[in-house]
């Protein structure tokens, strides 16, 4: 279209002009908005102020402006946004010339979108002057067109009427700016003569310098908030005595109505208003309402999914919560309810009458807790701020205690369970040392706040008196910890007590979480058996697939700790069982939510990534991955190396115990040159190679060289245990690998080689002979081991192979038949194929029984149920008896099947969030 071409070229010309004037325009716009209370000062003069040299200029710059010459070199995002905006304005102007209302309409929409973007980029809520001008022009033109009623096409007429409506609605928000603009359309002349603006602004700049310091100060403040300053509310200027209940209530309602409506409200201002109101309320009920509103408004100031609450805001919330708690404590007749009151109060209820006020302390606390966690995630864990922030935990705990006291007193048990769970979540990962330190800190802080009780309130008062300084004052808020906050000496008791509360009143999810937390808690206190039994009792491992991501993470963390605890206790097999699935997937970081892993074959959508980021565990709760990896690999090594030796010597292919370890070994062997070990894997690989030849000493030295052992408080004991295990497994490996090359071995020599007492060697050898089929026997009088191994002849070997193949063939045939006839033969270990059908059915039934038991708590198969429920009469576990409804109430297969249970748990499906990662496993 010709017109389009023309329009494009013209807009280009004009936009160039615009670029030069943009600076003045925007800044003048800022100025005009800032000067709304003193409208006498012209926009041109205020534009000069932005160019003024000195400190205030840089402060102003924080909102939007940059120096002109700089902008010419590099076009920042801001400038680009402005330019685009302006280009659209020009286009609209062009369309106005040809009366193309349909185009105007679309362009207007585009303009509004651009405005939004501009505001985002410049991080100000101010409106560029160009936009206001456009609005004015559009309005004028619209009125003109309506008055003239020119002949238009139907589409255009329709667009015109629609435009009329939109504009009317839209302009309502900008009446103030438009009025200002119309009063003072100087910039329009500026536009006509852009060259003059330079000198003009220079002049005004010098003029401006004469202004007093105070004025500048005031300007800075208002500019920074970046919104139109509303005329000061008359409430603030009124004599506090004259403020009635109704007035406060009205104001409150106004604020409540504004909630969630638009982003254009200055929440800071609302808070100032509310804090002021809280000082002039007419009674505890109203004060409570005001305080609750303070909290909700503060909560609205950030979006929890995007960024965390600022520390001052957080502190304010916490302090307000404390105030609420005190207030509630003093006025026992007031209770909080979830449902908002149906009719509003007209006057303060009389003291002593039971009153209900809207508010949910549990939810507030939860949000506060989330925000605290969120802010921790946003901070650099190695910086000092992180530590500072961590110290606020005491505040949170004190608050939680207060809230749970309140909930207990008012018998709100379901919420109480939620709060108890939150409290557990602050304790469960703390070792005794950490807990003691935290306790000390909390007590210290409590003492401090007791000594200086007036300071924070003074700060609050100051805020009330001078709303302008609110921002400064909030920085000063130091949350007091009330004097009656007590943090018990023994963490274990506290956790158990809280867990009881959750078990008694919580829902399934909460109970599960509390249970996992207690298991974790026991793990880090080296109570492996207690932890394992509690975990198995809950049967949670059967439902890991159905858990939500957060709980899966918790589950994985618990399992990891269980493994570590087993390792410390010297239970290598159990340790390997626990950690196997975690490491089998190769995505440990993701499973433990301790960092984002990138995968080669899998692209994550931004949503997935954001979700993952949100799940992350704060740094201070992390499980050391290096330690975990060493633990896993070493336990795998201790199990795998003798197994490998045995399979090599007997030609029987045994099951691979640890796939990750095997993979590492393959990699290692493929390398042509191997340097000295550097990381955990290198070390373990080196140890594996030494141990495979029975050289336990070198293996031990490699293992001890790992730095992560220093993280263990009981380092010596663990290393001693490792040494023992290495000696034993070294002996086993040695005998299995090289036994057949001896006709007899002296026990004394073996003792010497492996530095083991004779009794131990005897026991190890005996077990090898009896269980693992080492073809040897003791000769007691001479103290030797006689090996009976006879190498089979070639014919014998071949015959053996043949018979193996034949039996394999029969097996396969049986399976094929079973498939055909419908009954799938699933039981691999069952060598006897004839039992296939029954076996498979039986297996299925067991599984089903387990499910039933799991879901219904108890029922279905009574026997199964009967075998479960380890809690009941156990003293040790008595506190951990979730109610019957708890899905994990029974532990189905009994402890006899423990190992197999762990093997076939759904564990591997863990953390395959959204089911997307299944293919990783297959």
Partner 1 sequence: MAQYDLTPVLAKHLDRHLVFPLLEFLGTRALYDAADIEAAKLQLIEKTNMVDYAVDIYQQLNGTDEVPESLLQRRVDVVSKLKSLESAVKPITEFLSNEDNVKLLKQDKTQNQAFLLKEFQIGPEQVDALYHFAKWNFECGNYSAAAEYLYHYRTLSTNPERTVASLWGKVAADILLQEFGSAMDDILKLKELIDVDTFAPVAKQLQQKAWLMHWSLFVFFNHESGLNALIDLFMQDRYLTAIQLTSQHLLRYLAVAVVVNKRRRNVLNDLKRVVAQEAYEYSDPVTEFVRCLFVDYDFDGAQAQLAKCEEVLENDFFLVAAKDAFMEAARQFLFENYCRIHQAISIRSLSEKLSMDEEATEKWIVNLVRNARLNAKIDSKAGTVVMQTQTLSAYEQLLERARGLGLRTLDLSNAVFGAMRA
Where on the chain is the footprint of partner 1 (CB under 8 A)?
A: 529, 759, 762-763, 765-767, 769-770, 775, 777-782, 786, 788, 790, 792-793, 796, 799-800, 803-804, 806-807, 810, 813-814, 817, 820-821, 833-834, 858-859, 861-863, 865-874, 881, 884, 889-890, 894-896, 898
Minimum distance from residue 764 beta carbon to partner 1 (Å): 8
Taking alpha carbons only, the member of 423, 43, 77 closest to residue 208 is 43
Cα gap 564→587, rounded to integer Å: 18
Cα gap 797→150, rounded to integer Å: 106
User: Based on CB atoms, which residue is closest to partner 1, 739 or 869?
Assistant: 869
Helix, strand, or coil (residue 786): strand
Half-sphere exposure of residue 11: CA atoms within 13 angstroms, side-chain side:
19
Minimum distance from residue 872 beta carbon to partner 1 (Å): 3
Minimum distance from residue 529 beta carbon to partner 1 (Å): 5
User: Based on CB atoms, which residue is closest to partner 1, 229 or 766?
Assistant: 766
Cα–Cα distances in angstroms (integers) from residue 846 to residues 533, 808, 831, 840, 843, in the given order: 21, 28, 20, 10, 5
User: Based on CB atoms, which residue is closest to partner 1, 260 or 842?
Assistant: 842
Minimum distance from residue 707 beta carbon to partner 1 (Å): 32
Minimum distance from residue 894 beta carbon to partner 1 (Å): 4
Minimum distance from residue 753 beta carbon to partner 1 (Å): 20
Q: Which helix (H) or strand (E) holds 779?
A: strand 776-779
- 330's tokens: 């003093």
Judge whether 739 and 649 are in contact, CB under 8 Å: yes
User: Based on CB atoms, which residue is closest to partner 1, 437 or 799?
Assistant: 799
Cα–Cα distances in angstroms (integers) from residue 415 to residues 72, 180, 264, 509, 547, in the given order: 59, 53, 34, 13, 21
Taking alpha carbons only, the member of 776, 644, 653, 754 closest to residue 699 is 754
User: Based on CB atoms, which residue is closest to partner 1, 129 or 861?
Assistant: 861
Minimum distance from residue 803 beta carbon to partner 1 (Å): 5
Burial of 582 (0-12, 13-18, 19+ CB in 10 A): buried
User: Based on CB atoms, which residue is closest to partner 1, 128 or 563?
Assistant: 563
User: Based on CB atoms, which residue is closest to partner 1, 586 or 860?
Assistant: 860
User: Based on CB atoms, which residue is closest to partner 1, 555 or 734?
Assistant: 734
Helix, strand, or coil (residue 337): strand
Cα–Cα distances in angstroms (integers) from residue 673 to residues 296, 668, 669, in the given order: 64, 9, 9
Cα gap 748→911, rounded to integer Å: 51
Minimum distance from residue 522 beta carbon to partner 1 (Å): 14
Neighbours of 389 (CB within 10 A): 20
Taking alpha carbons only, the member of 18, 15, 26, 13 closest to residue 201 is 26
| Residues belonging to the chain | 922
User: Based on CB atoms, which residue is closest to partner 1, 705 or 883?
Assistant: 883
Cα gap 248→823, rounded to integer Å: 77
Chain position carrying tokens 């910039």? 187
Cα gap 541→512, rounded to integer Å: 11
Minimum distance from residue 289 beta carbon to partner 1 (Å): 47
φ and ψ at residue 599, rounded to 5 degrees = -115, 150
User: Based on CB atoms, which residue is closest to partner 1, 351 or 799?
Assistant: 799
User: Based on CB atoms, which residue is closest to partner 1, 35 or 728?
Assistant: 728
Taking alpha carbons only, the member of 486, 541, 484 closest to residue 512 is 541
User: Based on CB atoms, which residue is closest to partner 1, 447 or 878?
Assistant: 878
Minimum distance from residue 432 beta carbon to partner 1 (Å): 22
User: Based on CB atoms, which residue is closest to partner 1, 10 or 777?
Assistant: 777
Minimum distance from residue 812 beta carbon to partner 1 (Å): 11
Minimum distance from residue 883 beta carbon to partner 1 (Å): 11
Cα–Cα distances in angstroms (integers) from residue 103 to residues 97, 110, 147, 171, 746, in the given order: 12, 11, 20, 19, 100
User: Based on CB atoms, which residue is closest to partner 1, 545 or 872?
Assistant: 872
User: Based on CB atoms, which residue is closest to partner 1, 674 or 796?
Assistant: 796
Bridging pattern class, strands 776-779 and 744-746 = unpaired
Taking alpha carbons only, the member of 705, 671, 672 closest to residue 687 is 705
Minimum distance from residue 907 beta carbon to partner 1 (Å): 21
Long-range contacts of 293-297 (CB under 8 A, 24+ apart): 293/252, 293/255, 293/256, 294/320, 295/320, 295/321, 295/324, 295/364, 296/259, 297/255, 297/259, 297/267, 297/270, 297/271
Minimum distance from residue 832 beta carbon to partner 1 (Å): 9
User: Based on CB atoms, which residue is closest to partner 1, 671 or 793?
Assistant: 793
Minimum distance from residue 865 beta carbon to partner 1 (Å): 5
Alpha-carbon torsion, ordered 894, 829, 797, 767, to 10 deg = 0
Judge whether 731 and 761 are in contact, CB under 8 Å: yes
Cα gap 279→461, rounded to integer Å: 9
User: Based on CB atoms, which residue is closest to partner 1, 696 or 858?
Assistant: 858
Minimum distance from residue 537 beta carbon to partner 1 (Å): 9
Minimum distance from residue 802 beta carbon to partner 1 (Å): 9
Taking alpha carbons only, the member of 520, 543, 542 closest to residue 532 is 520
Chain position carrying tokens 């005001």? 290
User: Based on CB atoms, which residue is closest to partner 1, 428 or 528?
Assistant: 528
Neighbours of 339 (CB within 10 A): 7
Cα gap 136→624, rounded to integer Å: 63
φ and ψ at residue 377, rounded to 5 degrees = -65, -35
Minimum distance from residue 822 beta carbon to partner 1 (Å): 10
| Segments in 524-548 forming alpha helices (H) | 528-538
Q: Which helix (H) or strand (E) holds 12?
A: helix 2-34
């Amino acid at each position: 279209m010709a017109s389009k071409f023309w329009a494009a070229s013209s807009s280009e010309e004009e936009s160039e002009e615009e670029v030069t004037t943009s600076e003045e325009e925007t800044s003048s716009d800022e100025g005009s908005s800032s000067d709304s209370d003193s409208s006498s000062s012209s926009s041109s003069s205020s534009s000069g102020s932005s160019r003024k040299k000195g400190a205030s200029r840089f402060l102003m710059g924080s909102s939007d402006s940059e120096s002109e010459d700089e902008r010419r070199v590099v076009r920042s995002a801001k400038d680009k946004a402005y330019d685009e905006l302006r280009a659209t304005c020009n286009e609209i102007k062009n369309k106005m010339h040809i009366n193309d209302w349909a185009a105007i309409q679309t362009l207007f929409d585009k303009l509004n979108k651009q405005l939004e973007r501009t505001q985002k980029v410049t991080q100000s809520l101010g409106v560029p002057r160009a936009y206001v001008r456009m609005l004015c022009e559009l309005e004028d033109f619209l009125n003109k067109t309506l008055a003239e009623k020119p002949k238009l096409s139907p589409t255009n007429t329709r667009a015109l009427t629609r435009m009329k409506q939109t504009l009317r609605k839209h302009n309502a928000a900008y009446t103030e700016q438009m009025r200002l603009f119309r009063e003072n359309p100087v910039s329009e002349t500026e536009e006509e003569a852009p060259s003059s603006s330079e000198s003009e602004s220079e002049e005004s700049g010098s003029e401006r310098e004469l202004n007093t310091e105070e004025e500048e100060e005031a300007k800075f403040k208002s500019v920074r908030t970046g919104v139109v300053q509303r005329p000061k509310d008359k409430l603030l200027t009124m004599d506090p005595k004259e403020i009635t209940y109704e007035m406060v209530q009205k104001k409150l309602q106004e604020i409540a109505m504004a909630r969630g409506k638009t982003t254009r409200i200055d929440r800071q201002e609302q808070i100032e208003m509310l804090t002021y109101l809280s000082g002039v309320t007419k009674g505890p009920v109203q004060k409570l309402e005001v305080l609750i509103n303070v909290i909700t408004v503060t909560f609205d100031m950030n979006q929890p999914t995007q960024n965390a609450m600022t520390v001052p805001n957080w502190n304010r919330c916490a302090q307000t919560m404390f105030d609420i708690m005190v207030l509630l404590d003093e006025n026992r007749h007031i209770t909080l309810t979830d449902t908002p009151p149906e009719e509003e109060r007209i006057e303060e209820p009389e003291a002593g009458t039971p009153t209900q006020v809207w508010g949910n302390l549990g939810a507030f606390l939860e949000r506060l807790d989330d925000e605290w966690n969120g802010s921790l995630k946003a901070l650099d864990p190695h910086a000092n701020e992180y530590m500072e922030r961590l110290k606020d935990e005491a505040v949170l705990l004190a608050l939680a205690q207060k809230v749970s006291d309140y909930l207990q007193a008012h018998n709100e048990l379901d919420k109480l369970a939620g709060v108890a769970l939150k409290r557990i979540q602050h304790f469960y990962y703390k070792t005794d040392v950490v807990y003691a330190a935290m306790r000390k800190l909390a007590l210290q802080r409590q003492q401090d706040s007791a000594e200086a009780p007036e300071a924070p309130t003074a700060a609050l008062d100051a805020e009330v008196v001078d709303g302008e300084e609110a921002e400064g004052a909030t920085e000063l808020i130091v949350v007091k910890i009330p004097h009656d906050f007590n943090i018990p000496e023994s963490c274990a008791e506290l956790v158990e007590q809280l867990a009881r509360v959750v078990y008694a009143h919580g829902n399934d999810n909460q109970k599960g979480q509390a249970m996992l937390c207690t298991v974790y808690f026991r793990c880090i206190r080296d109570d492996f058996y207690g932890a394992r039994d509690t975990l198995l009792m809950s049967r949670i491992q059967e439902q890991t697939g159905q858990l939500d991501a957060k709980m899966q993470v918790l589950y994985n963390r618990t399992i990891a700790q269980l493994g570590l605890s087993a390792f410390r206790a010297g239970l290598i097999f159990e340790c390997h069982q626990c950690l196997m699935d975690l490491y089998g997937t190769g995505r440990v970081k993701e499973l433990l939510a301790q960092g984002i892993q990138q995968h080669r074959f899998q692209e994550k959508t931004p949503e997935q990534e954001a979700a993952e980021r949100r799940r992350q565990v704060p740094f201070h709760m992390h499980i050391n991955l290096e330690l975990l990896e060493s633990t896993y690999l070493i336990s795998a090594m201790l199990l795998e190396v003798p197994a490998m030796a045995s399979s090599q010597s007997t030609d029987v292919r045994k099951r691979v115990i640890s796939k990750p370890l095997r993979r590492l070994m393959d990699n290692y062997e493929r390398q042509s040159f191997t340097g000295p070990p550097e990381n955990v894997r290198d070390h373990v690989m080196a140890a594996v190679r030494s141990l495979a030849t029975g050289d336990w000493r070198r293996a031990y030295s490699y293992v001890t060289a790992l730095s992560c052992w220093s993280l263990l408080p009981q380092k010596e004991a663990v290393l001693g245990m490792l040494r023992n295990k290495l000696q034993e497994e070294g002996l086993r490996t040695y005998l299995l690998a090289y036994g057949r090359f001896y006709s007899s071995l002296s026990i004394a020599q073996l003792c010497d080689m492996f530095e083991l007492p004779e009794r131990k060697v005897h026991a190890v050898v005996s077990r090898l002979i009896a269980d693992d089929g080492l073809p040897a026997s003791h000769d007691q009088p001479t103290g030797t081991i006689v090996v009976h191994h006879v190498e089979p002849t070639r014919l014998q070997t071949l015959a053996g192979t043949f018979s193996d193949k034949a039996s394999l063939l029969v097996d396969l045939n049986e399976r094929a038949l079973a498939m055909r006839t419908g009954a799938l033969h699933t039981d691999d270990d069952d060598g006897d194929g004839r039992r296939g059908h029954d076996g498979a059915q039986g297996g299925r039934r067991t599984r089903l029984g387990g499910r039933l038991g799991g879901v219904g708590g108890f029922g279905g198969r009574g026997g199964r149920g009967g075998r479960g429920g380890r809690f009941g009469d156990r003293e040790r576990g008595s506190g951990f008896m979730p109610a019957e409804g708890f899905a994990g109430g029974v532990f189905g297969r009994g402890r006899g099947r423990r190992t197999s249970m762990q093997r076939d748990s759904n564990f591997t499906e863990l953390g395959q969030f959204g089911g997307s990662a299944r293919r990783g496993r297959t």
